[in-house]
Structure 1
């Protein structure tokens, strides 16, 4: 169950009215600062609220990510929404229920213990009392701090939590009105931005006459500094003009990128700052054999099917912004900062779009729309990115060079373990490190100063490059060396899982290599180094599901592999097994997964998150890497940057093995690293040789086969 203590979200937003309100039509308003990005979080939060308030889920109206009407819960990231917002909503709703019962009991002159609430109505002895939430709401002041003292329901009492309800966000999406792209306004002004090709590039010329000829319809071309935007009433005309402007713009200066940017050598050649974190006691004497290996995770991007979109309108001095940002309050604050406005003169309203699971261009599109709205007051400006914009202008998932070494004792177990991580920072969201985070603001005249990045995300907050860098195994001495690669002429930021994807891939691949060096079974070797019963349980479950160890000797073109991780070493436990066939490329045959998520609010939602994570991780592992040419990102279409196709998705079998009496654990990123490791280990067995650099592409496989 969720601990009955005040979570940080309630400390930061203490008033009960921040979270709950009763509306005239028999609805209950439940507000959250967390936002829907495809993970089904709003459905889960509605279930938690309905459970504690004793109302049907259909009575709940969820308000999400609106700076004018909800709590500030920071960024929706890190697989923390249920643990943070869910815990706050649970306690707030329990306290509201207790206040209503106490007030109703006073009105009726009966003990509060004699009353129950059924779908919002107070009943006593099986009879309706004539009182309900809505008739009593005006008499109860919810503008009071939450105390966390109200009794919450135990899992044995749950009727809504733990069931799979239909997703509340799907009807509107199916009907074509659920996405930010579907927003229309009578005064809509369409806009496209011509992005700089690389950091610091200066616009030396733009043939505006040629751009106007290319469209043949009225458009406005706005140039301020190195920022160029095309606006007009006809979207088709604006789009054609923007495409022409890309070809007619001449750029110079700045920091063009070399073709080998996406390589370990380039990353290691950049400036860096280093630190060492030791855990445990080093062995008193030198151990025996040393096993070492180096792994590579490339720069990657988000691959959202829908491009980013933002809308903004300036009216009577107040700026309203519609965005699919993951942090509405930070977006509001940084837009206000960059446009010289007071924070209370800006409202950000979250509206859903294609899921991104990381810092994509949603905030950039929102800023572009906000800036242009100040140049077109009284109009609703709509900025839409193109596919090429997404590849060129988006922050990148940071590349990682991960070195591992282990000194083995007499039993062939690690006596001294070292992980050496070199990577750029993994978070540059608006507000991170004091940065505004907007690409276009740097192109405008007189950009505000961007403070130097001192460190990546702190380890205590889950880390950035170091996320899951500390192996969960029972290691007597663990050394982590972290090289923050900075500054670099690239904008890197949060991509699903941050450093956990690369670190778990490396650690779990290395664990297979250690098992091989010890002459032991890979699963048995892991279990010999694990005392955590929940970790052991998911590994044992996944191994049983796939029929470990499977048949077939190494190098016969078919392999079974396993990977394990606990996201951030404090969220959900996950073990994944993968079976592959390999000739010139990898074919996924089947994937199995076992997860311990503690209390699961929505089983179908949790399984969808785990399955989606497996599919995205498989795509990263087998296909995805950015290319660079002519000083810039050279991948601009799905042909240049292939992602996993529907036809390539294997059968996936999942099992939830946790105890519902344990607190809920985040699931959104739990599958990423274990999936990469399972596929990598399976490919190594199928080939009889290991490929340590991602993606496991046809080119790398052919090179391994010919070596």
Structure 2
């Protein structure tokens, strides 16, 4: 792989396309006839998706003179199939085959700034922007062709990269482009195609990112080997608060292949010509370095009490109706979630080169622009001299070690100008230093009336901020360890429609009186940030577990009870489809076997998802085996149904792993989960015999994010199946074998 030079700019890359647009406005008063009262104007239409932030068409689409079509997205391919789905969307409106679209993903030099690839918003925001931009570009090309062909635009059609007249005369897209033609703002009134004319959206297409991954090709940043590259390994402190007090570098510098030792405060790294030389030098340095540690971590067994005792402020997530309501039954329950890690199968990596006073970093970060800002601050360079290029990593979904590996590589590269530096974390470094999903405590209280309807709902959650991504240099491990010592960003309580720790804390069910509060903690004893779904996983697990408790108190079937308290027709649809495909019933099951059901609309404004499953609980071993899973999902118009199925299946399996196995352990000084034996995850032997995912398509409807919709409902369904199978409820995540045996033996 050749390392590109840093002389590219957004304008030079996009040069070659554009158009002249002239517009004018007639004042409302001037257009009214004498004696008439002018009608109030309609509010202006809003730009769709990410066009609202980056309206220029040439930020999204470029067409070269040879007809090559390039589409730009600020979102990253993380394994969701983005590189395929976005091609389908652009191809649909540009009337070409998806294979004709050249897609460039997140790169601070040439793509729009779309922040983070997170929250299941890629198709919803970037896909929508690309679609409307592509539709407008097609219309511009058709107008241009009208002049060349001498045929009215409404008699022309776009097809296979050409505009064709009724008599068969045609002109290619490349022949129509001119300087600055697309350097105009998007028109919010652009019309897009109707579903009955689709040739790409909703159709099956092979994912473009798969071949390299299954053939051993260069698929990930971990695979990069640019010419002249050297290998670096970092040496981490043994615990968060450890300080380096002694290091004799003499022996390390004489080891074979060692090029440099980088020491900056408590940041340590070694660089060598070959990878295993760097590994051996790292191990030797780890053995020699002496650190001073402090016992500052709380008792892991008392984390719920620790959460309650360290609340900084309480935020109101929602407050609707009366504080109390009369009813016949009131129930309460408390739930907890342990710290959980991303557990990326491939430890984080990055490649960086410092050349001609500019720094380029290849990284699997989920936010190239925010990472660039933090890295630039850390190394003391202007942002326009730092370029971050997203390169897919073998393990992601959430804020894992990607940004930190990028910072490591950047800092080391500045000490070795001209040499590409590859940093590869080790397994224990990923486990011990990645930001974990925060521990949580939740409490639910609800009242039922005589009809078994929920009339009052109180829900409280204890959690800190689930998003500590860059940010500033203080959000990076290297920035914190450097002698300059950038402090972490201050955590703030932020309640928004996107949600954070409070994501999905408001149930979608119809309850006239609701109170939801977030008891916010500014600090946590271990490093935490965004794990897939943020607070939604624990909140939906809690709410859906509690819904089954309420159904039992009302003497109702769990599915019927949910429908009784749900008016949203699309929510009802996925619940009904799931129940039907699963053949939900109340027939008796063998001893130790149970059914579980759960539902949520992710963030209450993304995909609707319901799930039913069957589980067998072995009281003697504590093993929970999920045998059969059925899910239905509605994410609006389905661009790539197979990708939706894949994402939902993956979310179900990931949530199974969280729910049944995963918890970070620590003592009063260090994290004690450095590997897979100390942090077990779902194995192939525990995968269900069958997983069915049914896509409830809504052609013509807005795209709804789907990638994280399954996590919360899966945890809730497992909890409810366990209760159905054993007659006892587990309120604490995860459902480990030890916890199951203790609960059933109580």
TM-score > 0.5 by shorter chain: yes
| 1:542 and 2:578 correspond | yes
1:363-382 to structure 2, matched below 5 A, reads: 363-382=403-422
1:483 aligned onto 2:519: yes
**Secondary structure, counterpart of 2:511 in structure 1:** coil
Matches within 5 A, 1:338-353: 338-353=378-393
User: Is residue 304 from structure 1 mapped to residue 340 from structure 2 by the alignment?
Assistant: no
The Cα RMSD (Å) is: 2.0
Contact 1:314 1:379 in 2 (8 A): yes
Aligned twin of 2:448: 408
1:66 to partner: Cα distance: 0.8
Q: 1:293 aligned to 303, 327, 333, which one?
A: 333
Distance 1:24 1:304 in 2: 43
- For residue 693 of structure 2, what is the aligned residue in structure 1? 654
| Divergent runs of 4+, >6 A | none
Q: How far is 1:253 from its partner?
A: 4.4
Match of 1:455 in 2: 493
| Cα distance between partner residues in 2 of 1:37 and 1:540 | 32
What CA distance in whole angstroms lies between the structure 2 residues aligned with 1:636 and 1:680?
28
Paired residues, number: 698
Q: Is the 8 A contact 1:578 1:679 kept in 2?
A: yes
Contact 2:298 2:525 in 1 (8 A): no
Structure 1 position 625, deviation (Å):
0.7
The reply to whether residue 574 of structure 1 matches residue 609 of structure 2 is yes
Q: Shift of residue 275 of structure 1?
A: 2.2
SS at match of 1:638: coil
Higher deviation after alignment, 324-333 or 132-141: 132-141
Structure 2 gaps of 5+ residues are 1-43
Equivalent of 1:227 in 267, 286, 309: 267
Deviation of 1:65 (Å): 0.4
Displacement of 1:211: 5.0
1:427 corresponds in structure 2 to 467
Q: Is the 8 A contact 1:591 1:652 kept in 2?
A: yes
Match of 1:644 in 2: 682
CA contact (8 A) 2:65 2:175 kept: no
Relative distance call for 1:18 and 1:254 in structure 2 (3 A) is farther
Q: 1:424 and 1:246, CA in 2 relative to 1: closer, same or farther beyond 3 A?
A: farther
How far apart are residue 256 of structure 1 and its match? 3.7
Task: Give how far 1:268 is off.
Answer: 2.9
Q: What 5-or-longer segments of structure 1 have no aligned partner?
A: none
1:148 to 2:199 alignment: no
Work out whether 1:602 is the aligned partner of 2:619: no
CA-to-aligned-CA distance 1:497-553 (integer Å, 9 cap, x gap)? 000000000000000011111221111111111011111111111111222125326
Residue 145 (structure 2) aligned to one of 104, 129, 135: 104
Shift in Å at residue 336 of structure 1?
0.9
- Tell me: CA distance 1:50–1:262, structure 2 relative to 1, closer, same or farther (3 Å): farther
* CA deviation vs aligned residue, 1:229-285 (integer Å, no higher than 9, x gap): 111111101112222333333222456424517832333333432123443211676
| 3-state DSSP of counterpart to 2:431 | helix
Matches within 5 A, 1:155-554: 155-175=195-215, 176-209=217-250, 217-218=257-258, 220-253=260-293, 256-258=296-298, 260=300, 263-282=303-322, 286-431=326-471, 436-456=474-494, 458-460=495-497, 462-552=498-588
Equivalent residue in structure 2 for 1:19, among 25, 35, 60: 60
- Cα offset for 1:91? 1.0
1:43 equivalent in structure 2:
84
TM-fit CA distance, 1:183: 1.2
Of the structure 1 ranges 408-417 and 261-270, higher mean CA displacement relative to structure 2 is found in 261-270
Query: Are 2:359 and 2:410, in contact at CA under 8 Å, matched by a contact in 1?
Result: yes
Q: Which one of the candidate residues 124, 131, 139 is aligned to 1:90?
A: 131
Change over 3 Å in CA distance of 1:202–1:161 after alignment to 2: same
Q: 8 Å contact 1:278–1:477 — kept in the other structure?
A: no
Q: 1:631 aligns to what SS in structure 2?
A: coil
The one of 597, 615, 618 equivalent to 2:656 is 618
Q: Normalization by structure 2: what TM-score? A: 0.90
Given that 1:261 and 1:267 are in contact with CA atoms closer than 8 Å, whether structure 2 keeps it comes out as no
Q: Against the structure 1 CA distance between its residues 254 and 338, is the aligned structure 2 distance closer, same or farther, given a 3 Å change threshold? A: farther
CA distance in structure 2 between the aligned counterparts of 1:464 and 1:521, rounded to whole angstroms: 32
**TM-score of the aligned structures, taking structure 1 as reference length:** 0.95
Deviations 1:144-202 (A, max 9, x none): 11123332111111111011111111223334112111211222111111122333321
Q: Label 1:261 to 1:38 Cα distance change in 2 as closer, same or farther (>3 A).
A: farther
Matched residues in 2 for 1:310 and 1:605: separation? 27
CA offset at residue 340 of structure 1? 1.2
Q: CA deviation at 1:5?
A: 4.7
Any idea what the Cα deviations from partners look like across 1:37-68, whole Å, max 9, x if unmatched? 00001211100100101111111100000111
Name the SS of the counterpart of 2:263 in structure 1.
Answer: strand
Residues 214-242 of structure 1, C-alpha deviations (whole Å, 9 max, x = no match): x6553532221111111111110111222
Between the aligned partners of 1:20 and 1:217, the Cα distance in structure 2 is 46
Residue by residue over 1:311-338, the C-alpha shift from the partner in whole angstroms, topping out at 9 and shown as x without a partner, is 1111110111100111111111111112
